[in-house]
Chains A and B, each alone.
Chain A
Amino acid sequence: MEKLRLGVLALIVINKAGGLIYNRTFGEGLNQLNTNDYLVLAGTFHGVHAITARLNPFKGQQYQQHTLSSTGETILSRPEPPSGLEVMESENFRLQCFNTLTGIKFLLFTDTMQANVDVAMRKVYDLYSDYVMKNPFYQLEMPVRCETFDRKLNSYIREINNSR
């Protein structure tokens, strides 16, 4: 039986040390893994992300970037920090990764045709900021157990998935 793969399939949040702090699946698009597998997946992805940032073909140049100013002289500009994996595609799904400035990674698994994943990611980050970070009982770097976050996330994802 062919599985129905539609819309946003799963969300995983990885803390800055590579630990899994949140995972939730929506719908039946992806294989169900057990908790241990999710933990391994989070750790693996954390490592892979670091390597992909290092593999930048222009890493030698990034220490110094010159831009031509309007007066015609070269000025030194601050180099862009190397970025790791942002989007990964496979035949059955797409993975979008958003790395916050504080090193938390949000992985959003969608089907291959899903549009505006950036917007969805932004919204998920907003929800995280509002309902996890502002929760006085939440301890940093620890697994997220916030009922409001779960609820808001669920209703938002359902909204996206139903609109298709």
Chain B
Amino acid sequence: MPIQVYSFYIFDRHTECVYSKLWHQPHQQQQQPPLPSSTHTTTAPTSTTTTITTTANTTNGPHHGRHHPVRSAKDQASDDAKLIFGTVFSLRNMVRKLGGEDDAFIAYRTQHYKLHYYETPTNLRFALLTEPAALSMRNVLHQIYINLWVEYVVKNPLAPVEHKGGEGVRNEMFEMGLDKFIRGLM
């Protein structure tokens, strides 16, 4: 059963986000209704709006008539990673408090998405955002850990022990393997 995967994050034991990847494009500037004060005209959507064109200026182009200050997609992604970490950290602690030390937080779901969580004994944390109807993806995260993280990051003789700023994680083998694996689910 194909499922929609939105994004994937890895946090190291120092709570830093060492890897993140998005599989869907957030469309923030394209589909906004033109504000009355705005002099810009947004391009009229073609026939149906289910076809959404994503252009390169999403990342650092001018923002059309929005009130929020200019923020790059990269900042946005890093903010999201921090929020996700805060969420899973709090929920994990809550679960441990209520369910005992051996309990583990698995997933949570909202109306729009589902977040799957997996933590290794070394406090490496994996978080995967999918569509809300997805079944448990714990084994998927476990597979990513064994087959990709251990194989291509841990066993890489050139990778540092600590992955500060994602160093050593962003290697070609890991990225390709991950992309292929996730696209196989979709």
CB nearest to B129 among chain A residues: A57
CB nearest to A45 among chain B residues: B94
**Contact B98–A31 (Cβ < 8 Å):** yes
Contact of A47 among B90, B103, B109, B129 (CB under 8 A): B90
CB nearest to A3 among chain B residues: B100
Cα separation A39 to B55 with both chains bound (whole Å): 47
Contact of B107 among A68, A76, A89 (CB under 8 A): A89
Kindly list chain A residues whose C-beta atoms are within 8 Å of the C-beta of B31: 60-61, 63-64
Cα separation A64 to B27 with both chains bound (whole Å): 11
**Contact B45–A66 (Cβ < 8 Å):** yes
Cα separation A57 to B83 with both chains bound (whole Å): 13
Kindly list chain B residues whose C-beta atoms are within 8 Å of the C-beta of A57: 6-7, 24, 26, 112-113, 129
**Contact A83–B129 (Cβ < 8 Å):** no
- Which residues between 22 and 68 of chain A lie within 8 Å of chain B, taking CB atoms? 30-31, 33, 37, 41, 44-45, 47-48, 51-61, 63-64, 66, 68
Contact of A83 among B28, B86, B110 (CB under 8 A): B110
Cα separation A57 to B80 with both chains bound (whole Å): 9
Q: Is there a chain A Cβ closer than 8 Å to B154's Cβ?
A: no
Contact of A58 among B32, B97, B112 (CB under 8 A): B112
Minimum CB–CB distance for B171 against chain A, Å: 26
Kindly list chain B residues whose C-beta atoms are within 8 Å of the C-beta of A68: 48
Kindly list chain A residues whose C-beta atoms are within 8 Å of the C-beta of B45: 66, 74
Indicate whether A85 sits within 8 Å of B49 (C-beta atoms), given known contacts A30-B98, A51-B87, A90-B95: no
Indicate whether A88 sits within 8 Å of B98 (C-beta atoms), given known contacts A74-B49, A83-B112: no
Q: Is there a chain A Cβ closer than 8 Å to B134's Cβ?
A: no
Cα separation A45 to B93 with both chains bound (whole Å): 11
Indicate whether A92 sits within 8 Å of B100 (C-beta atoms), given known contacts A44-B94, A56-B113, A66-B45: yes
Kindly list chain A residues whose C-beta atoms are within 8 Å of the C-beta of B86: 48, 51
Q: Is there a chain A Cβ closer than 8 Å to B124's Cβ?
A: no
Interface centre among B29, B49, B104 (most CB of A within 10 A): B49
Minimum CB–CB distance for A78 against chain B, Å: 13
CB nearest to B26 among chain A residues: A60
Minimum CB–CB distance for B97 against chain A, Å: 7
Q: Is there a chain A Cβ closer than 8 Å to B84's Cβ?
A: yes
Cα separation A63 to B90 with both chains bound (whole Å): 29
Cα separation A33 to B95 with both chains bound (whole Å): 12
**Contact A61–B27 (Cβ < 8 Å):** yes
Q: Is there a chain B Cβ closer than 8 Å to A84's Cβ?
A: yes
What are 6 contact pairs spanning A and B, CB under 8 A? A60-B26, A64-B31, A83-B112, A88-B91, A89-B107, A90-B105
Residues of A participating in the B interface, judged by any CB pair closer than 8 Å: 30-31, 33, 37, 41, 44-45, 47-48, 51-61, 63-64, 66, 68, 74, 76, 80, 82-93, 109
Q: Given A37-B97, A44-B90, A52-B87, 4 other A-B contacts at CB below 8 A?
A: A48-B87, A66-B45, A80-B111, A85-B108
